């Protein structure tokens, strides 16, 4: 491992809505380095956005737009067949809305991450990936796109020279081909903080993980996702953060100067 290695820890934040509370935003904000802020389409509302951005500012956490499908009742987790221009303009609308709040708080918008079904579709579907990236590109801000290494999203971003932070998941089981074991399968989500923390260190230090079949596979990783809506999220994040520090790996927002440069275009 290179000296001075650093990794970003990102978490979904601001998923409350009106009278409803969701997630452990307040306690997680002290542990992560990037906050993916819901923008009102799949979760979040203007008050929640304002409070979440302000909380991130106070903790020096990087703020990003967590953009999703317009499906509040389904929490943006239902796949939709949405046209290119619909995706691009929905993404731009959500980024813009968040820019209102980052502007008010005097902090930059640092990254964009797709949520739920949009993330999953943009991972594999070139058309969706390109529409997503087109929406991000139009906002004309120097933002980083969060995307798994090797995904269509990464490819589309690289193609228009948009910085990418390659995302890995320390609490999810991987298949040998580098994709995640679906949540519907047993053992897909890891709950033991010790084990999750060890995987986090290996991903951050060496860019590799042990797949479900025991094979060690490469998973390039600039940012680790810390799930915020699962029970015990804060405990898990605390263990990950401690293990990284013990291993001499710093934590910093994904677009900080110490971050590795975005990956070259594949092929």
Note the residues at the interface with its own copies (CB under 8 A). Answer: 17-22, 40, 43, 45-47, 49-50, 70-75, 78-82, 85-86, 89-90, 92-101, 103-104, 117, 138-141
54 is written with which tokens?
């302000």
68 is written with which tokens?
């999703």
**Taking the complex as a whole, how short is the minimal distance between the CB of residue 49 and its own copies, in angstroms?**
7
**Taking the complex as a whole, how short is the minimal distance between the CB of residue 229 and its own copies, in angstroms?**
8
Q: Residues of 152-185 as b/e, b for ≥16 C-beta within 10 angstroms?
A: bbbbbbbeeebbbbbbbbbbbbbeeebebbeeee
**Taking the complex as a whole, how short is the minimal distance between the CB of residue 265 and its own copies, in angstroms?**
24
Which 3 state secondary structure label does DSSP give 267?
Answer: coil
Q: Which is nearer to its own copies, 45 or 125 (CB)?
A: 45
Q: Which is nearer to its own copies, 10 or 16 (CB)?
A: 16
Q: Which is nearer to its own copies, 88 or 147 (CB)?
A: 88
Q: Which is nearer to its own copies, 150 or 228 (CB)?
A: 228
Task: Give the DSSP H/E element, type plus range, for residue 113.
Answer: strand 109-114
46 is written with which tokens?
């203007």
**Taking the complex as a whole, how short is the minimal distance between the CB of residue 15 and its own copies, in angstroms?**
8
Bridge partners of 37, per DSSP, are 13, 65
**Taking the complex as a whole, how short is the minimal distance between the CB of residue 39 and its own copies, in angstroms?**
9
50 is written with which tokens?
């304002």
**Taking the complex as a whole, how short is the minimal distance between the CB of residue 110 and its own copies, in angstroms?**
16
Residue pointed to by tokens 């737009």 = 65
Q: Among 167, 26, 59, 34, which Cα is nearest to 111's?
A: 34
What count of residues does the chain have?
267
**Taking the complex as a whole, how short is the minimal distance between the CB of residue 199 and its own copies, in angstroms?**
27
Q: Which is nearer to its own copies, 117 or 168 (CB)?
A: 117
Q: Which is nearer to its own copies, 90 or 171 (CB)?
A: 90
Q: Which is nearer to its own copies, 19 or 267 (CB)?
A: 19
Residue pointed to by tokens 């897909």 = 188
Residue pointed to by tokens 């993404």 = 91
Distance, in Å, from the CA atom of 149 to the CA atom of 234, rounded to the nearest integer, reads 26
Residue 150's alpha-carbon distances to 79, 111, 126, 131, 161, in angstroms, are 21, 19, 12, 17, 16
């Amino acid at each position: 491992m290179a000296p001075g290695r650093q990794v970003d820890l990102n978490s979904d934040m601001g998923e409350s809505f009106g009278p409803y509370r969701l997630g452990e935003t307040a306690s997680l904000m002290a542990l992560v380095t990037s906050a993916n802020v819901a923008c009102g389409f799949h979760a979040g509302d203007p008050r929640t956005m304002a409070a979440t951005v302000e909380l991130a500012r106070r903790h020096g956490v990087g703020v990003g737009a967590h953009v999703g499908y317009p499906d509040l009742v389904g929490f943006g987790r239902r796949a939709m067949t949405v046209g290119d221009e619909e995706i691009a303009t929905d993404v731009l609308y959500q980024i813009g809305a968040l820019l209102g709040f980052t502007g008010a708080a005097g902090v930059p918008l640092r990254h964009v991450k797709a949520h739920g079904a949009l993330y999953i579709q943009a991972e594999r579907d070139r058309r969706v990936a390109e529409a997503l990236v087109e929406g991000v590109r139009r906002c004309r801000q120097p933002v980083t796109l969060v995307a798994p290494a090797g995904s269509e999203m990464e490819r589309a971003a690289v193609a228009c020279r948009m910085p990418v932070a390659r995302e890995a998941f320390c609490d999810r089981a991987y298949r040998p081909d580098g994709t995640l074991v679906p949540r519907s399968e047993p053992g897909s989500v890891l709950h033991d903080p010790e084990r999750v923390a060890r995987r986090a260190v290996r991903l951050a230090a060496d860019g590799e993980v042990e797949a479900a079949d025991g094979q060690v596979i490469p998973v390039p990783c600039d940012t680790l996702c810390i799930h915020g809506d699962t029970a015990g999220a804060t405990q898990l994040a605390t263990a990950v953060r401690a293990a990284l520090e013990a291993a001499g790996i710093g934590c910093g927002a994904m677009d900080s100067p110490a971050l590795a440069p975005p990956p070259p275009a594949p092929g």
